[in-house]
Structures are given as structure tokens and as C-alpha cells.
């Protein structure tokens, strides 16, 4: 991608101590102040040199560890945070490591050159049914350059995460006005097993051409009608004038109508039955016809 880069070094390789989580959060704050759009981070925390600070699996709940909370805040501030899932898939720990458990980050696992699950890639999440990893990319037998400028192969989700981060940078260049939620959801929806995710590959391998197509679907001017919240979990609210009935329907990205024509009298629409994804709300009133994109969590 045609991008500018900042390198923040937060890992103390001589030891493993909780203060490194604080270093990471400080780096994320600095990145935010510099206007960074995307953070890629290829590290994870579970245990420390002093076992008194070790985490339990139950603490990988998306909201406990300091670094996870910091990653969530970065996502809320509009930064796309891409995190390697971790390399604990074949160990007793097995699940993703902090901050890959954060709900506001895009967690990336690893596959081999055939697109098959790499056995070392961390699986699942401590909070079920939270979908982690989100997506996967090549991380097994990946060509890298070592300290001697020699091309060698190596394994790790540390190599799959930058692939996704770089691809998202290209996507953001093509769609600079898309939100974090829109881009993250488009990446998930474009992936190879979006309809049937699992805890090994998540939603699968993203197709960024499809992701671009999803983001490129135009939205008809909706200046006089707004919806909230967006993303939405259950009830979508329209801030149109009450009293006049509004006819609405919802279509998915393939053009399939998933909510038939429904007349609203209280400007509220129940979308709790919809699967997670990007949708289009078609609004017909006496004055106009509007189409507004929304994301269902």
C-alpha cells in the first residue's frame, strides 16, 4: 500500500513483565495522536517471568487484561487494530492471547499455502460464542528475511497478521470514508467461510476484491432521515417525524430481501433475527425513497 509507517517497539525481549502491556497502550495512544489509521500488532500475553502475574484462560474474556482494554479503546477511537491470534493452538493453552481476545480488534490466525489450518494457530475464545479468530492468512512456512538478509521460512501468526493489515490499508485507500466497523465487517463478510465460521479459521480467508465490492455499493442520500445505533444488535431507530407511517424493507449485500415490507408507526425496527453483516434499509415515505447502510452485530 501507498502508506506512511511508524514503528513502535514495546516488547522487552530480555524479560517478560506486565509493564510491557502499558508500553503497548502508550504506543497506541501515540499512534492515535499521529493520526494512524491501522495498527498491526504481532504479540500476545499469557504468562510472565513472575508467575504471580500469569493470566488464566478465563481472563481472556475481551475486557480484563490491560492491553486488551487499550486495544478496545483504540478501536472505539476509529483505529483499525489488527492482532495476531497467537501460536498456542497445539499447547494446553490453545485459545487466543491478549490482546487478540478484544472484541474491537480483527484477530488473525494462520493457514498454510493450501489454505489449511496451521496447527500452531491459536483457536477460539474464552467467551463463547465470540468469534475468534476473525479471519486467517498465510502464516505457515512463510518466506521472511532474517537478520542476515537471507530469505528463510518461518511459522507464526505474527506473519499472517501483517498480510491482513496491509490489505486493509489498500482497502482504506480505495474507500477512505468507510468506518472501522464497515471495513472490519466487509473483511469478515468477504471471507471464504463467512456463513459457517469456526474456531480454527474464523470466517476464513478474506477476498479483498469482494470486500471492496461490499464497500462500494452506493447509498442513496439519506440527509433527512438518520438511523441509530449503527452498528445495531436488536432495535434500529429512525429519527423521522412520527405520526406518518413509513414502509421499510431490508436487503442483504446479494440483493436478497431479508425483511419484507413492514409499516412502522413508532420508527423502530426489530432486526435481532438477522445474522451479523452489512445490510441496506430501504425506506419509503410519502416524500421520498431512501437507502441507508447499516451493520448488524
Alpha-carbon span 211 to 191, nearest angstrom: 8
Domain count, the chain: 2
- List 250's β-bridge partners, or say none: 259, 281
Q: Which domain holds residue 262?
A: 227-296
Residue 146 confidence class, pLDDT cut points 50, 70, 90: very high
The reported pLDDT for the residue numbered 230 is 83
| pLDDT mean across residues, the chain | 90
| pTM of the predicted protein model | 0.78
Q: Are residues 193 and 244 in the same domain?
A: no
Task: Please indicate, yes or no, if residue 4 is contained in any of the structural domains.
Answer: no
Task: Please indicate, yes or no, if residue 94 is contained in any of the structural domains.
Answer: yes
The reported pLDDT for the residue numbered 128 is 63
Cell of residue 132, nine digits? 475468534
Alpha-carbon span 106 to 108, nearest angstrom: 6
The reported pLDDT for the residue numbered 224 is 65
220 has pLDDT over 60: no
Task: Establish whether the linkage from the previous residue to 83 is cis, with ω within 30° of 0.
Answer: no
At 74-100, the pLDDT tens digits run 999 999 999 999 999 999 999 999 999
Strands 142-145, 235-238: pairing kind: unpaired
Query: Which of 170, 187, 216 corresponds to the end of one domain?
Result: 216
- CA-wise closest residue to 71 among 104, 38, 96, 34: 104
21 has pLDDT over 90: yes
The reported pLDDT for the residue numbered 244 is 64
Task: Please indicate, yes or no, if residue 221 is contained in any of the structural domains.
Answer: no
- Cell numbers 502491556 correspond to 21
Residue 140 confidence class, pLDDT cut points 50, 70, 90: very high
Task: Please indicate, yes or no, if residue 270 is contained in any of the structural domains.
Answer: yes
What phi, psi does 197 have (nearest 5°)? -70, 155
- CA-wise closest residue to 128 among 83, 95, 82: 95
Amino acid at each position: 500500500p501507498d502508506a506512511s509507517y511508524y514503528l513502535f517497539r514495546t516488547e522487552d525481549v530480555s524479560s517478560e513483565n506486565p509493564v510491557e502491556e502499558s508500553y503497548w497502550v502508550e504506543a497506541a495512544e501515540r499512534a492515535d495522536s499521529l493520526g494512524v489509521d491501522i495498527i498491526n500488532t504481532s504479540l500476545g500475553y499469557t504468562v510472565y517471568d513472575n508467575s504471580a502475574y500469569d493470566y488464566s484462560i478465563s481472563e481472556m474474556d475481551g475486557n480484563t487484561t490491560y492491553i486488551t482494554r487499550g486495544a478496545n479503546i483504540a478501536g472505539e477511537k476509529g483505529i483499525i487494530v489488527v492482532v495476531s491470534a497467537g501460536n498456542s493452538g497445539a499447547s494446553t493453552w490453545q485459545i487466543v492471547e491478549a490482546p487478540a481476545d478484544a472484541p474491537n480488534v480483527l484477530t488473525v490466525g494462520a493457514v498454510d499455502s493450501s489454505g489449511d489450518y496451521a496447527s500452531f494457530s491459536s483457536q477460539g475464545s474464552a467467551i463463547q460464542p465470540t468469534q475468534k479468530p476473525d479471519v486467517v492468512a498465510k502464516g505457515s512456512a512463510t518466506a521472511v528475511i532474517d537478520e542476515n538478509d537471507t530469505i528463510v521460512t518461518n511459522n507464526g501468526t505474527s506473519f499472517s497478521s501483517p498480510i491482513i493489515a496491509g490489505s486493509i490499508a489498500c482497502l482504506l485507500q480505495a474507500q477512505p470514508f468507510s468506518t472501522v466497523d464497515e471495513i472490519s465487517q466487509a473483511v469478515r463478510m468477504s471471507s471464504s467461510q463467512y456463513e459457517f465460521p469456526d474456531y480454527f479459521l474464523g470466517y476464513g480467508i478474506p477476498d479483498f476484491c469482494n470486500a471492496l465490492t461490499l464497500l462500494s455499493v452506493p447509498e442513496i442520500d439519506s440527509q433527512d432521515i438518520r438511523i441509530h445505533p449503527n452498528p445495531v444488535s436488536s432495535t434500529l431507530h429512525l429519527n423521522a417525524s412520527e405520526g406518518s407511517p413509513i414502509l421499510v424493507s431490508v436487503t442483504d449485500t446479494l440483493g436478497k430481501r431479508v425483511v419484507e415490507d413492514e409499516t412502522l408507526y413508532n420508527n423502530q425496527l426489530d432486526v435481532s433475527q438477522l445474522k451479523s453483516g452489512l445490510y441496506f434499509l430501504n425506506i419509503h415515505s410519502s416524500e421520498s425513497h431512501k437507502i441507508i447502510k447499516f451493520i448488524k452485530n
